[in-house]
Chains A and B, each alone.
Chain A
C-alpha cells in the first residue's frame, strides 16, 4: 500500500487528503492553519494521518499547493530587493511600458502603484551585450563588486539582475552571479536569463524582481515544510503545484517562486475538472470560497481557461497560468458600517486567528460566517472534529453590536444584509469570468468548494440565473485533492530567432536536443514512481516582423531518450504553423513569406497515475431517515417563498440516499463544510456522492 498525500494550506484551515494509489481509497484530515508558522499546521496535518492508518513509511509523495507567493504579491509583503541593470537603464521599472490601465480617460485618475524595487535601490553597471549576443562593452567587474558590497552593507538580502539583451547572451549576468558568489554569497539572486529567455526588457525585469523579492520567504517556507516531512519519518520529497497546474520539486519553487503565484487555486481547478467529468458536467464555474478569499474559474469542456501570460494584481507575469479571478471576500470577511448606515463586507478578514466570533477564539468582529451562524445556516456543533465549536451567542452578539444596533434592525435582518452583499460580490466575480468573456453563466453549472462555497452557491446561482449547482463529496478538500490529479512538469525555453532560410539545421538540432534533454532530466527524478516519463517539444514561429508567436507542438513521446529534430519534422512544424495561422486568423502566407523561428520549448513530464474517483456505497436509507432533526433557519423572502424562520431538515453528508431527489430547504453538513439548499431548489446525490442541485 502506498499513499500519495496532498496538503493545502488555506488562510483558515489546512486540508490533507491521502489517497491509496492502487485502490483510490481516500483519507481526510483537517486542522486549523497556523499563519505564524505554516509548517506547524503542515506537520499537524501530516501527523494526523497516522491515526487514519496512513503510516509515514508508506507515504510515497507529498504534494502541496501554497498561497504564500500569491499573498506576498497581493499584500506587497515581499523582501526589500535591489536591482542591477545595464548602464543608462536605471529607470526601466519607472518608465515601464507607458501604459495606463483601464479605459480612455483613466490617465486623469490612475495612480501608479509602488514599484517592486524602489528607484533608490536600482544600480547601473557598465557593460553591454548587443542583440546579436556579441559583447559591445565588457562588463565592468569592479562596479559589480562595489554594488554587491553596497547591497551587503545595506542589508538587502535579495537582488535581481536584468541586463539588456541577456535573453540572447547571458554571459554578463552569469559573471554578476560569480562576483556575488564571492562577495555576497548569502544574497538571494535571480538572473533574468534564468527566468525567461524572451526579449522585452521591462517584462523580463519585472518578473525577475518579483521572483527575487519572493525568494527569501519561499525558500524558508519550503525548507520548513520539507523539515516537517522529514520529522514525520516519511522519505518523500515535497512537490509544489505551479500556476500552470503541473508539479515541481520544492527546490524549483525556492529559486523560481514566481511560477507558484497561483499554486493553491490551480489545484482546486484541476479537482473541479476531474469531478465535473465524472458527474458529466464539463462546463463549470468554480466558486472556491475559503476564509479570506474566493477564487473563480471558468471550465469549458472539462478544461480550465489558461493564459499564456498571467496577471496578478497589476503585474503581468511571464509564466503560463490558469485563468483565475480572485476576490478578497471569504467566510472570515468582516462586515462593518461605513458612514451613517452603509453596510460593507470586507476587504478586511478575521482570517484563522482570531477568526469569526462564532469560533470562540477571541474574534469579536461580525464576519460572514457569523451571519450564517446567526441565521441557523451553520448548525451548532457540526464543524470540524470538535476542535472548533460554533458559539451562536457569540456570533449573535458580534452581529448585534457591530451592525444591527447601529442600523436599528434585528440581528437576523442584519445577518441577511451581510449575506446579500457577500453573494452580490461573488456574483460580480462570476460575471467577470463569464459575462465579460462573452460566456453566458446560465449555461454553466456552479461548482462550489472550499469551506464556505456551499453556503453561498444557491444564492449566487439565483443572482446569476444559473440553474445548477454541483457540490463535490469533500468540498473543503478539493484543493488538496486536485494536487493528486496532475503530473510533474518542468518547462524549458530557448530563444533562437532566425528566418527559416537562415536556419542552420545542425545548430537548431543541437539546441533542440539540449533543451529536450534538460526537460527530461528534470522529469526523471529519483524516488518518484512515475507511470511514464516523457517530453513534449514545441517550436514558436511567426511571420517575420510580427510581434507574437504561435506555438506548434513537434513531438510528444514517453519512450525514453529525446527524439532528434529530423528535417521532415522541421518542415512539418513550419507547415503546422501556416495551418495554425490560417485556423486562428483566417489567412496565412504559405508559399509567399518565410517564417521566423523565435524559440524552442520543451516540457519534461513525469506522468503520475490518476487515482480513481470511487463510487460511494449506496446507503439503504431515505431522506427522512437520514434527517438528524429539523433546525430553525432564517431565509430571505423571495417570489413564492415567504421569508423568516423555517423548520429545515439537517442531513449528514455521509449517510444520505443516492439517486433520490429531495426538495429544499435543507442543510447538508459534513466535517469540512456545509451546503445550504435554499427554498425553491431540489437535489439528488449521485453514485460518486456528489450533490446535484437544480432550481425548480
Chain B
C-alpha cells in the first residue's frame, strides 16, 4: 500500500551494492580536456536566447535529418512507420536533442581511443550485446559521424533505424522463438564503414550479403549516412556563427534545462512516497508463462528512483531488453515530463532527476548471448507498470492501460516468383483518461504511420478488404478506452504469417473502476468452417492464396465507473457502431430504443436505464483500482501469478477507497 511521508528522502546506499544492482549507466566518458574547463566557465554566461536559438537549430537539424531518412529510406518500417530516430550527442555521448531512444555514440568511444576518431569517419554497428546497452535488437542499424568544430571533436551526429532484414532464422529477422542472439541475424560490431573519407567496400559487401533484401538495406544505410551528414553540417554552421566553445556550452545548458524543468515543474506534482506497480509479459515464445515487470518507485522532492527488483529473470525466449537504467529513464522520462503541464524536451538531463536501478540477470538487464529481438513488449509493459504505480500516488488519476504497438507480417513469393514481405506495425486503443475517452487506433511512437491500403496493394500480393475499428474493444468506463483495429486482408499468393502481438489473452487494464480493454487476436478465414484463431506470438503460419487474415488489436482500458458514463455518449457510440447494444445494456446499463428519426435513430430510455443501472450496481463486486480482465484474474485465483494490487479498491470523488 501507498504510504505518504513528509520530508521523505530516498536512501541511495543500497544501490551502490553491485551484487544487487547494476550501475545506472554501464559505462561513461567523463572529460577533463582543455576545452571542458572553458565550456564550463562559458555555460553560465550564455544568454537565454542564445541557448534557445542553438537548441532550436539542433532540434530542427534532427527533424531535417529524420525527414531525409523518411524520404530516402526503402524499408517500409522506416519509411512509413518512422522506426528510426536521430540525435546529436555531446563528446561524452549524451543526447543533447530529443533522444534516439537508447542509441548514442557510446560504442564509438568504447571501441576507439579519441585519437583514432578522425574527420571523415562513418561508424556502423548493430551489436546489441557489444554496444554499451544502446542498441535493442539486430535489425536496428546505427550510423554515427564524429563532428569536428574548430579542429576538435565536439560531438557526434547519430541515427539508428529498423531495417527490413539482417539475416538470421526467419525472413524479416524477427524470430520469436530464438533462444540466442546468434539466431537473430548478422552481428556487426562497431566498425568504420568509412575510414577518414574512404569507404570500406569489403565491409559493406559483407553487411549487404547477409540480408534477404540487400537493396532495401543499402538504401536505408545510405539514408542514415545522409541524415547524419546533414546534422553534422547544421552543427558546423552553428560553430561558424557562435564558435565551438559556445556551441558546446549550449549543449550542456540544454541538458541542464531538462533537469531543471523536470525538477521544478514535474516532480512537485507527484506526492512524495513509495509506490509499487506491476504489469506482465504474456509469454516469451518458449515457455508459456507470464513474466512480471515490477517497479517500486521512490519519490522525494529532488528525484524519482525506480527500483526494478522483483522483475522476472532473463527469459529463455527473445523478449529480453538488454539495456541499462539510463536508457529506461529516457524512455519513461517522457511520462514524468508529461506531469509538468508544459513542454519539456527530454534529453540526457532527465537522468539526473529520475533514476532506475536494476538487479543483474532480469528481463530488463539481459546480457550476452540472451535473445532480444522481441524486446518491444518490455517497452510497452514497462509503461503500464509505471502507470500502475503512479495510480497509487495519484489516487486513481492516471491513464488506463494500453498496448499500442504490435506487428504482423506475411512473407512469401508472388506469382512472378518475387519475394515479398508485407509487414505492418499496428497501433491500438489508448487508455481512457480521468478526463476523456482513450483514442482509437493510435501508435505510441510519434510519427508512426499505418500503411495505406493503396500502398499495400501496389507493393504486395494483398488486397485490403477492410480497415476499421474493433467494436466493443475499448474498456468500459466513465471514460471509454480507445478502440483497436480490425483489419481484413486477402492473400493473393501463398505465404507465411507471423504474429508479434502482446495482449492476446490479457486485456490492457482499466483504472479506478474502468474495465480492461479487449485483447487483440488474429484469425484466418473468420466466420467460415476453416476459421483458425491465433493467440500469442506465432511464427511462419502457412496461409493460402484466397485466405482472409483478420487482425485485431487491443482496446485501451476504461477509466471510472461505467455506470456513471453519460448515457448520451453511450447512445452516440452505439449509433456509430463502436459499441454494441448488448455492451450498452450490460456494461453501461444504458437501454436504447428506436426513435424513428433517420438522423438520430436511437434514443435513451431514461427510466429503463435508471433501473438497469441500479440493478447492475447492486449485483456487482466493489470497483477495483486496477482491473486486468477475466483471463488475468483467473490466473491469479488459480495461483499461477501474483500481483500486489489485486485487491486494491477504486477511489471515490473524495479520494477515499470505495465501499
Contact = CB atoms under 8 A, between A and B. Distances in A.
B414 to A, nearest CB: 13
B455 A200 contact: yes
A440 B53 CA distance: 6
Interface stretch (B32-40, B64-72, B180-188, B311-319): B64-72
A587 B223 CA distance: 9
B651 interface: no
Contact of A98 (B402, B449, B575): B449
Given A92-B467, A153-B598, A436-B59, A103 B343 contact: yes
A273 to B, nearest CB: 23
Given A89-B453, A94-B440, A586-B229, A547 B338 contact: no
A96 B439 CA distance: 11
A359 to B, nearest CB: 36
B390 to A, nearest CB: 11
B454 A104 contact: no
Interface string A99-112: 11111111111111
Contact of B234 (A120, A153, A438, A547): A438
B219 A543 contact: yes
Given A107-B444, A108-B433, A199-B452, A547 B80 contact: yes
Given A104-B446, A109-B338, A167 B454 contact: yes
Interface in B218-250: 219, 222-223, 225-226, 229-230, 234, 241
Nearest to A108: B399
Contacts of A200: 452, 454-455
Given A110-B439, A436-B60, A431 B52 contact: yes
B486 to A, nearest CB: 9
B335 interface: yes
B497 interface: no
Contacts of A593: 215
Contacts of B343: 103
B402, B466, B575 — which one has the most chain A CB atoms within 10 A of its CB?
Answer: B466
A437 interface: yes
A202 B452 contact: yes
A94 B343 CA distance: 27
Contact of B457 (A91, A118, A131, A543): A131
23 contacts: A89-B467, A90-B468, A96-B441, A97-B449, A99-B446, A103-B98, A104-B446, A107-B439, A108-B338, A108-B399, A111-B439, A119-B578, A120-B575, A131-B457, A136-B463, A164-B453, A438-B56, A438-B60, A440-B53, A545-B459, A546-B73, A584-B68, A585-B223
Contacts of B426: 98
A585 B468 contact: no
Interface in A270-327: none
Contact of B430 (A88, A107, A131, A437): A107
A91 B466 CA distance: 9
B158 to A, nearest CB: 16
Interface string A171-201: 0000000000000000000000000000111
A545 to B, nearest CB: 5
Contact of B72 (A88, A202, A546): A546
A446 to B, nearest CB: 15
A77 B110 CA distance: 59
A595 to B, nearest CB: 13
A36 interface: no
Of the four ranges (under 10, 10 to 19, 20 to 34, 35 or more), the interface on chain A belongs to 35 or more
Interface string B431-450: 10100100111111111111
Interface of A: 88-92, 94-112, 118-120, 130-131, 136, 150, 153-154, 164-165, 167, 199-202, 431, 435-438, 440-441, 464-465, 497, 543, 545-548, 584-587, 593
A95 B57 contact: no
A165 B454 contact: yes
A105 B337 contact: yes
A146 B225 CA distance: 55
Enumerate the 8 nearest inter-chain pairs by beta-carbon distance, A residue then B residue, closest first: A105-B334, A88-B466, A438-B57, A91-B468, A98-B427, A435-B56, A438-B60, A548-B71
B530 to A, nearest CB: 21
A150 B230 CA distance: 55
A440 B79 CA distance: 31
Contacts of A110: 439
Given A165-B457, A547-B80, A95 B440 contact: yes
B226 A99 contact: no
Chain B interface helix/strand/loop/mixed: mixed
Contacts of B222: 585, 587
Nearest to A545: B74
Contact of A585 (B74, B226, B448, B575): B226
Nearest to B222: A587
Given A99-B446, A546-B71, 10 more contacts: A88-B466, A88-B467, A89-B453, A95-B440, A98-B448, A438-B234, A464-B49, A546-B79, A547-B80, A585-B68
Given A438-B57, A438-B234, A100 B442 contact: yes
A91 B338 contact: no
Nearest to B486: A91
A164 B454 contact: yes
A546 B219 contact: yes
B121 to A, nearest CB: 16
Given A154-B598, A164-B453, A95 B468 contact: yes
Nearest to B79: A547
Contact of A95 (B334, B441, B577): B441
A435 B216 contact: no
A110 B440 CA distance: 11
Contacts of A586: 225-226, 229-230
Contacts of B447: 99
Given A102-B446, A154-B598, A438-B56, A547 B468 contact: no
Nearest to B85: A104
B399 A89 contact: no
A609 to B, nearest CB: 38
A100 B59 CA distance: 19
In this complex, the member of A88, A96, A438, A543 whose beta carbon has the largest number of chain B beta carbons within 10 angstroms is A438
B30 to A, nearest CB: 28
Contact of B458 (A92, A111, A497): A497
A92 B454 CA distance: 12
B241 A107 contact: no
A99 B452 contact: no
| Most chain B beta carbons < 10 A, residue from A119, A199, A441, A586 | A586
B403 to A, nearest CB: 12
A101 B449 CA distance: 11
Contacts of A98: 426-427, 441-443, 448-450
B485 interface: yes
Contact of B216 (A88, A545, A548): A545
B117 interface: no
A100 B226 CA distance: 27
A437 B448 contact: no
Interface string B459-495: 1000111111100000000000000010010000000
A173 B329 CA distance: 51
A593 B453 CA distance: 26
A43 to B, nearest CB: 38
Contact of B466 (A89, A105, A431): A89
A92 B469 CA distance: 9
Interface string B324-358: 00000000001101100001011000000000000
B56 A436 contact: yes
Contacts of A167: 454
Contact of B453 (A111, A201, A435): A201
A105 B439 contact: no
B52 A435 contact: yes
B451 to A, nearest CB: 9
B18 interface: no
Contacts of A119: 576-578
A438 B61 contact: yes
B75 to A, nearest CB: 9
